[in-house]
Structure 1
């Protein structure tokens, strides 16, 4: 009996691959070349057997990993059988003659049969197919036919890539949504994840259409491009992953990581994670820059060309928007402005704009370290960045990619790319910290100290990867960091204890009866009787859990921890009632002089100014004073609102959004006109705000809100004086917030006995002592809704 030639051929294909994989002598590029050579030799021999020869009207073309000669252990074989329609009677036999032996060999096969017009039709209709065909490489048969197909498809791509760019970008983002980011995943997908092999191949496709610079130009200052190195590293890991797993797999699992690391001689799984993460960060940065370059190359079409875009829109001192990116102002001097890095990052996060690569390079080359202790302005800029919800991640990643983030937080490299030790964690430690910050941003209006919550979220796991109890190690690290940031001693103490005890509440609710008096007393003792600290621990427990992974935070856990926090606070005597700050003697003397006055003095930072505004007391004065400041682009950092000797005496600590400190003479002129009724300050402010908003949106949609944002909150507190109520507002701050809220209170016919205003980063925590015409729950609820409506 004659042997089945097809079966013999399949056995030869399978045996050759098995031998190469089992030898143990081949790794990396040598193994990939050997696998490709084996498959190509088999395909060429099979083509001879089937009569697929030069000029015969059939051509076998490889795409995918074989087309790029990047076959790893269990890669699929991706093939296109091209025909010229001259031999329809042979087409099925030729195709089956290739496909069946490959299937019989147990090798994955992705195949298609196309004429040249069909290939072009598919490339035009399916962007994924078009990108795959760009890697087409002739294997056997009619070389001219294969050349016609590949040149036709590539010509079509060059001609239509500009029109198809939105589809390409949307497809990539959809893929990222499914697979996540390689740089920060505990078990990353090397091929399909954001920052993976497919992204680099996509960049090459855009370069082929002359929309980006491609692999070779990512860093023209180096002989070997970092992007090429990243690609080589990811491909090397994928090669060993297939060998270790013994099957086709693109996701690096924790149980395989140590063996892969040993094969690559890079240490242990933690070292392997850093190799993968660094390569993915490099790729992600290149993809973001490549997409922006491609979009700029495509340009604006249709009626959008007729819209006049603002050339440079100011965002902060020394920071502007240009071409959809955050760039440095023309007069910015990074070498003499240490805080510029933080303002650039916070402007990027607030406005959801990427930071220009050249701006990052200038900052990396010339920006000095921030002098210690930090000024209040520098700390405020950091807090604004941290309060940006999920947008904080991209801004910090951009700084970290260029070495700027570790100048702000030198302790960061120890947790960068550090994989978690527990499978429950979805992220590397550094990304987990940023995710915790993002979730904490949604809780800033639920605590009295949103600034300490954000800092605690950023720093709570900083002790990991150093051996020992990371909570204790982290607490030791955080003390000097707090000193560097310029925190007051009591705030330093709270932040240190917040890191030390960040696992306290989750541990208690799983091991003790949270309703038992002894449990409540024990927790109160652990936090040193600090009501602010226990409230912060509850919020940090939620942010930490949500940032860990799906299902870690749930209703059961929320109920237990929330109830425990409330019981401990009640055990400690309830929340502290705010009280007005006394007026300094010199301020009292100014008030007794009467009239409209504005006095300014230097405050806690180089751009911070204390502005005292005095005017005859009456309804509407506070909102007018606040509107005067907002019209001058002054952001209130804090304020004390009082009355004395028949005058409203309000002191504001302000910072200019950009520009110079306030002109007291101009402020007094506007305030006098507003108080006398000659100037409708609210109407002027509203018009200016609307004009700026329209200018910022010309040609684009409004900046969308973060998916993780803190809602404004109002709560009523008991006042010391009978007949008075305390309204506490916690809300995301902006330049006109105080004017709007004060105006709403005044329109309701309320007297504001005193107020204490504080802005902690991007969150306003304002307390108003009010005399209500009607002291009922319904009246309070209606007023609260009116205040929330203007936030």
Structure 2
């Protein structure tokens, strides 16, 4: 394909300036160049070639304008820096320029002002600096970033002597010597990566500055130039710093990122470096990615291309930096480490350079040796190269080598310490070779807001979370998990379950079922005992069971706990499932874990252990449960010197459901509050830190239709999230409503100050007959890209109707649903609220205003009102009626 021609520019009269007509012509010429390049990109031209052609075109225009404004002034020269210095300009990149002046004078300053002003007029957006040579040296001495920018400086026009003087600064061995320069670059890298959670696997990655981005490649070249005189990857191959296959991989990954960046600039229409949701689908379509099926979207394939490129860059980059560090270390005498290895200082090396070819199992054994040998921080550069060679040569045959698998099992049996070894093995591609199915999910994203990381990154984070449970210092954050861990006789089984729990993502079927098959097959090849294979396979199959039960069902209901315990079957499975569930939730997104979920899972775990204590006793009869709750609550109140007669009077109005669905502590708290109020209503009480790490709101007032809507509207205005609601009525017509809340912004319980604000504002709201309307807030940028048709399902649930609502989250959603329920003349008796990223799954127990289950007609009315209130068209809504 032929690249667009470079612009032809007329001759200029030096220092004559650029007339308005000439500026318009240059603006038109630059626009024509950009349009021609855009067409070439759409036609499939290589992004690097186009960025170079744009750099050449812009250079011609810049030099042309320089000649018109400055001519051959002896005291100045113009340099391209940044990406322009490297000869690359993407569609919306700034044109970075350094004007170097031998001396400052009014004439030079005026000419430069005219020059840069003209560039702005013709639409170039130059980023520029004007300095003398001494100023450049002073800045370079104090700031490694300034020194680095000068490495890319390329003279475009002006006096050659200034170029010579600039090169003399860079050639000075006293200015940022290799060790100091390496330390400065690594500090800059760490600070930059920290802004992106130290991972390339973010949902909206930064192509330029994120880990594994284009800046990483630039930094490696800068290090190569300063430390080894090797300015590019091919030169680093010649210096023995890179293998040819590594250099080729970096070139391919860079080509991918440049293609994505070029498309991103065109799609955004500005110098955007973040692959935002706003652009991902459009860019994927622009680059020809198409949906394979519902679980392998074109946008997911597109993003997988990015993640794989960034992962390779990050992996090779880490290894290359280790080679630079080794290069700068003083030589030491080798010391023996067992029969196969030696150490040079803190680095491990092979005694026999052909060991990996002769005995592939040593590929795993050397990582075990690294764990066992104190003071080892890495491998020598030569050893890393030989690991790469061996993985490339043996490939997926490692997955069927019994000796490799035996060594892998030995590693896993080290328990928590083996997790760091697995991370390092993944960095070398060894983990994917031993587990080919893991290799297929490398870079596999899920296009939603729930899964923050790619499948491989998530899996490795889950493993690290599991390893945390072995650390006594984590007991404060994970008391149950840290108590369980020491009792595990075979921690390798949990690690295997963590490795396989999401390994079948993206295949189109149920990943839990497909993953169970993979886990069973691999564990069989490992030679595990049948009962151990069954445990690992069961954990993979049911790894979502505990979280879905806790968040979507009422775990205070013994029937729910009994059904869950029946699936779990024994304490061993329960212990493993609890650890895997906690690690999985934390590894999915840092924002998902909070005190509410911590207590929710802990309560389900404790209740299930109790249920499993004697071969799954049937749940106690409702009457027995009511009596036990009353007795315990009574004991608490009597201990606080509350008169028994007053307690009996209050409880005479409580429905039995109160004692079935609340803890004794809650019943005692509510009772004491009612007695203190002495008949004054509405009564609003707030317990800032109540059950399951949440804030509890209790409302006691004259019951009326629309009360639920009024309460949720005020909670929405106050920015509280409802995670659970109990809507009950006393025999005297009083509402006994309980809401468990978290702060919407932080997902934390309320502070004392916020709790008091909630109490006062809610009390005032309940005194207003009309109640509050929900606050109107627009969708966030993220949520706009993840809209889904609402799913509305009704089911018979004893004497009530269950409404299951699955839809896209948005500000004020629960308040809008409550308004719809009120409008449809429906009463709410119970509510379970769960949010998973952008997806909401809410469950309500409903009746009509005569406390009867909803008729077919009433269900249709409610469905219609819900759609109008929460958005969505009837033709897109998914609805069903089912019997519980």
**Above 0.5 in TM-score?**
yes
| Alpha-carbon distance in 2 for matches of 1:206, 1:35 | 27
Q: Give 1:35's aligned residue.
A: 54
Which of 387, 395, 402 is matched with 1:360 structurally?
A: 387
Alignment of 1:155-554 (within 5 A): 155=172, 160-180=177-197, 183-211=200-228, 213=230, 214-216=232-234, 217-218=236-237, 219=242, 221=244, 225-265=248-288, 268-300=298-330, 311-312=334-335, 314=337, 318-330=340-352, 333-335=355-357, 337-348=359-370, 353-355=377-379, 356-361=383-388, 363-364=390-391, 365=393, 369=398, 378-383=407-412, 387-388=416-417, 391-392=420-421, 394-400=423-429, 404-444=430-470, 445=482, 446-447=484-485, 448-449=487-488, 450-527=491-568, 529-554=569-594
Matched, 1:77 2:129: no
Q: Which moved more, 1:462-471 or 1:173-182?
A: 173-182
2:597 to 557, 561, 565: 557
Q: How does 1:637-648 map to 2 (within 5 A)?
A: none
Give the Å deviation of 1:60: 1.2
Aligned to 1:676: none
Q: Counterparts of 1:155 and 1:12 in 2: how far apart (Å)? A: 44
How far apart are 1:6 and its partner, in Å?
7.1
How far did residue 66 of structure 1 move?
1.1
- In the alignment, the residues of structure 2 paired with residue 389 and residue 245 of structure 1 have an alpha-carbon distance, to the nearest angstrom, of 44
Gap change, CA 1:117 and 1:386, over 3 Å in 2: farther
Displacement of 1:231: 2.2
Q: Is the Cα contact below 8 Å between 2:411 and 2:418 reproduced in 1?
A: no
CA distance in 1, matches of 2:270, 2:418: 40
Say if 1:330 and 1:35 are closer, same or farther in 2 by CA, change over 3 A: closer
C-alpha contact 1:181 1:195 (8 A) present in aligned 2: no
Residue 59 in structure 1 maps to residue 81 in structure 2:
no
The structural deviation recorded for 1:112 is 1.2
Contact 2:356 2:386 in 1 (8 A): no
Paired residues of 1:190 and 1:250 also in contact (CA < 8 A): yes
- Describe the superposition over 1:158-202 as per-residue Cα deviations: whole angstroms up to 9, x where unpaired: 873343321222222222222356653333222112222222222
| Structure 1 pair 512–274 and aligned structure 2 pair: CA distance change class (3 A) | closer
Q: Distance in 2 between matches of 1:69 and 1:415?
A: 36
Kept in 2: contact 1:388–1:438 (CA 8 A): no
Alpha-carbon separation, structure 2, partners of 1:103 and 1:575: 80
Q: What's the secondary structure of 2:79's corresponding residue?
A: strand
Distance 2:558 2:345 in 1: 61
Say if 1:138 and 1:407 are closer, same or farther in 2 by CA, change over 3 A: closer
Name the structure 2 match of 1:592: none
Q: d(CA) in 1 for partners of 2:66 and 2:18? A: 13
Contact 1:182 1:189 in 2 (8 A): no
Task: Tell me: CA distance 1:385–1:131, structure 2 relative to 1, closer, same or farther (3 Å).
Answer: farther
Q: For 2:195 and 2:615, how far apart are their aligned partners in 1? A: 44
Q: Shift in Å at residue 376 of structure 1?
A: 9.4
Q: Distance in 2 between matches of 1:382 and 1:60?
A: 59
Tell me the residue number matched to 1:26: 40
Asked if the contact 2:409–2:526 (Cα under 8 Å) also holds between the matched residues in 1, the reply is no
Tell me the C-alpha RMSD between the 2 structures: 3.2
The answer to whether the 8 A contact 1:453-1:540 is kept is yes
C-alpha distance in 2, partners of 1:441/1:575? Answer: 31
Larger deviation, residues 146-155 vs 457-466: 146-155
Corresponding residue of 2:159: 142
Residue 195 of structure 1 contacts residue 283 of structure 1 at CA under 8 Å; is this kept in 2? yes
- Residue 371 of structure 1 deviates from its aligned partner by 6.1
Match of 1:186, SS? coil
TM-score, normalised to structure 1, is 0.65
- Rounded to whole Å, the distance in 2 between the matches of 1:255 and 1:484 is 45
Q: 1:93 maps to which residue?
A: 110
Q: Distance in 2 between matches of 1:421 and 1:325?
A: 41
Structure 1 residues 490 and 65, CA gap change in structure 2 (3 angstroms): same
By how many angstroms is 1:17 displaced? 4.4
**Shift of the alpha carbon at 1:570?**
1.0
Q: Distance in 1 between matches of 2:556 and 2:166?
A: 74
CA contact (8 A) 2:178 2:227 kept: no
* 1:678-717 equivalences in 2 (<5 Å): none
Q: Indicate which of 169, 173, 176 corresponds to 1:152.
A: 169
3-state SS, counterpart of residue 128 of structure 2:
strand
Q: How does 1:114-125 map to 2 (within 5 A)?
A: 114-125=131-142
CA distance in 1, matches of 2:419, 2:265: 35
Q: TM-score, normalised by structure 2?
A: 0.58
Is the partner of 2:157 in helix, strand or coil?
strand
Q: Could you tell me how far 1:353 is from its partner in structure 2?
A: 2.8
Kept after mapping to 2: 8 A contact 1:7/1:101: no
Q: Distance in 1 between matches of 2:277 and 2:145?
A: 31
Contact residue 20 and residue 26 of structure 1 kept, 8 A: no
Displacement of 1:75: 0.6
Alpha-carbon distance, 1:536 to partner? 1.5
Match of 2:704 in 1: none
Does the CA contact (< 8 Å) of 1:328 and 1:359 recur in 2? no
Shift in alpha-carbon separation, 1:435–1:220, aligned structure 2, 3 A: closer
Q: For structure 2, which runs of at least 5 residues remain unmatched after alignment?
A: 1-16, 42-46, 291-297, 471-481, 617-884
Total equivalences in the alignment: 559
Q: Give, in angstroms, the shift of residue 18 of structure 1.
A: 4.1
Greater Cα shift, 504-513 or 553-562:
504-513
Could you give the per-residue CA deviations for residues 189-229 of structure 1, whole angstroms, max 9, x where no partner exists? Answer: 22112222222222222222343754113456469733233
1:257 Cα deviation (Å)?
Answer: 3.0
Please give the alpha-carbon distance, in whole angstroms, between the structure 2 residues aligned to 1:244 and 1:349: 48
2:401 & 2:178 partners in 1: Cα distance?
51
2:280 aligned counterpart, secondary structure = helix
Give the 3-state SS of the residue equivalent to 1:78 in structure 2: strand
> SS state of the match for residue 348, structure 2?
strand
Q: 1:357 to 1:551 in 2, by over 3 A?
A: same
Report if the CA contact (8 A) 1:84-1:145 is conserved: yes
Does the 8 A contact of 1:389 with 1:437 survive in 2? no
Deviation per CA, 1:287-331, whole angstroms, max 9, x where unpaired? 22332232233335xxxx9xxx662352x6634433433322349
Q: Tell me: CA distance 1:223–1:373, structure 2 relative to 1, closer, same or farther (3 Å).
A: closer
After superposition, give the CA deviation of every residue in 1:686-731 in whole Å (9 maximum; x if it has no partner): xxxxxxxxxxxxxxxxxxxxxxxxxxxxxxxxxxxxxxxxxxxxxx
1:489: Cα distance to partner? 1.2
Cα deviation per residue 1:43-85 (whole Å; 9 max; x = unaligned)?
A: 22221222242x5211111101111121111111111111011
**Alpha-carbon distance, 1:436 to partner:** 0.6
Q: 1:499 Cα deviation (Å)? A: 0.8
Give the C-alpha shift of residue 250 in structure 1: 1.6
Whole-Å Cα distance in 1 between the matches of residues 127 and 329 of structure 2? 36
SS at match of 1:369: helix
CA contact (8 A) 1:180 1:193 kept: no
Structure possessing the higher relative contact order (Cα contacts under 8 Å, 6 or more residues apart) = 1
Distance 2:502 2:196 in 1: 25
- 63, 69, 78: which is aligned to 1:44? 63
Tell me, yes or no, if the aligned pair for 2:336 and 2:342 is still in contact at 8 Å: yes
Shift of 1:437: 0.6
Q: Secondary structure at the match of 1:423?
A: coil
Which residue number corresponds to residue 661 of structure 2? none
In 1, are the aligned partners of 2:78 and 2:97 still within 8 Å (CA)?
yes
